Amino acid sequence: MARTADFIVIGGGIAGISVAYELLPHGSVAVLEQESATGYHSTGRSAAVMSENYGPRLWSRLVTATRGFLENPPEGFTDLPLVTDRGALFLAQAHETGQLQAQYDDLIARGARVELMPAADALRYCEVLRADKYATAMYEPDCKDVDTNELMMGYQRRIRAAGGAVVTDARVTAIHRDANGWRVDTTAGEFHGGTLVNAAGGWVQQVAEMAGLGYRNVVPFRRTAVTFDAPSGSNLHHWPMTFDVAETFYFKPEAGKVMVSPVDMAASAPCDAQADEMEVALAIDRIETFTTMKVARLSHRWGGLRTFAPDHEPVIGADPPDAGFIWLAGQGGNGVMASAASARLAASLAVGRGIPADIAALGITEDAISPGRSCVLANEDVQVGSAEAIYGAD
Question: Which residues in this chain contact ligand FAD in the complex, by CB under 6 A?
Answer: 10-16, 32-35, 40-43, 45-49, 171-172, 199-203, 223, 225, 261, 304, 306, 331, 333-337
Question: Which residue in 256, 257, 254, 298 sits closest to 280, CA to CA?
Answer: 298
Shortest distance (Å) from residue 262 CB to ligand FAD = 10
CA distance 17 to 29: 10
Min dist CB 199 to ligand FAD, Å, is: 6
Closest separation between CB of residue 90 and ligand FAD, Å? 14
Q: Report the DSSP pairing between strands 257-261 and 322-329.
A: unpaired
Q: Which is nearer to ligand FAD, 117 or 266 (CB)?
A: 266
In angstroms, give the least distance from the CB of 111 to ligand FAD. 20
Based on CB atoms, which residue is closest to ligand FAD, 18 or 103? Answer: 18
Instruction: Closer to ligand FAD by CB, 262 or 392: give it.
Output: 262
DSSP 240: P
CB of 337 to ligand FAD, least distance (A): 4
Going 215 to 213 to 167 to 163, the CA torsion angle's sign is: positive
Q: Which is nearer to ligand FAD, 136 or 227 (CB)?
A: 227
CB-wise, 40 or 176, nearer to ligand FAD? 40
Give the dihedral of Cα atoms 152, 153, 154, 156; nearest 10 deg.
90
Q: Select from 189, 146, 54, 106 the least CA-distant residue to 340.
A: 146
Give Cβ neighbours of residue 82 (< 8 Å, ≥ 6 apart): 70, 71, 73, 146, 147, 150, 151, 154
Q: Which amino acid is at 71?
A: E
Of the candidates 192, 199, 212, 204, the residue with the CA atom closest to the CA atom of residue 7 = 192
Nearer to ligand FAD, 8 or 114 (CB): 8
Which DSSP symbol is given to 298?
Answer: E
Q: Which is nearer to ligand FAD, 19 or 119 (CB)?
A: 19
Burial of 36 (0-12, 13-18, 19+ CB in 10 A): exposed
Helix axes 339-350, 14-23, angle to 10 degrees: 50
C-alpha distances out from residue 295 to 123, 236, 282, Å: 20, 15, 12
Q: How far is the CB of 41 from ligand FAD (least distance, A)?
A: 3
Closest CB 30 distance from ligand FAD, rounded Å: 11
Task: Give yes or no for a contact between 252 and 241, defined as CB atoms under 8 angstroms apart.
Answer: yes
- Minimum separation from the CB atom of position 331 to ligand FAD (A): 3
Burial of 111 (0-12, 13-18, 19+ CB in 10 A): exposed
Specify the residue, 136 or 307, whose C-beta has the smaller distance to ligand FAD: 307
Task: Give the nearest distance from C-beta 210 to ligand FAD in angstroms.
Answer: 8
* Pairing mode of beta strands 298-308, 315-319: unpaired
231-235 own/partner pairs: CB under 8 Å, 24+ apart? 231/128, 231/292, 231/293, 231/294, 234/127, 234/128, 235/127
Residue 343 or 355: which CB sits closer to ligand FAD? 343
Closest distance to ligand FAD from the beta carbon of 10 (Å): 5
User: 116 or 263, CB closer to ligand FAD?
Assistant: 263
With H, G, I as helix, E, B as strand and everything else as coil, classify residue 138: strand
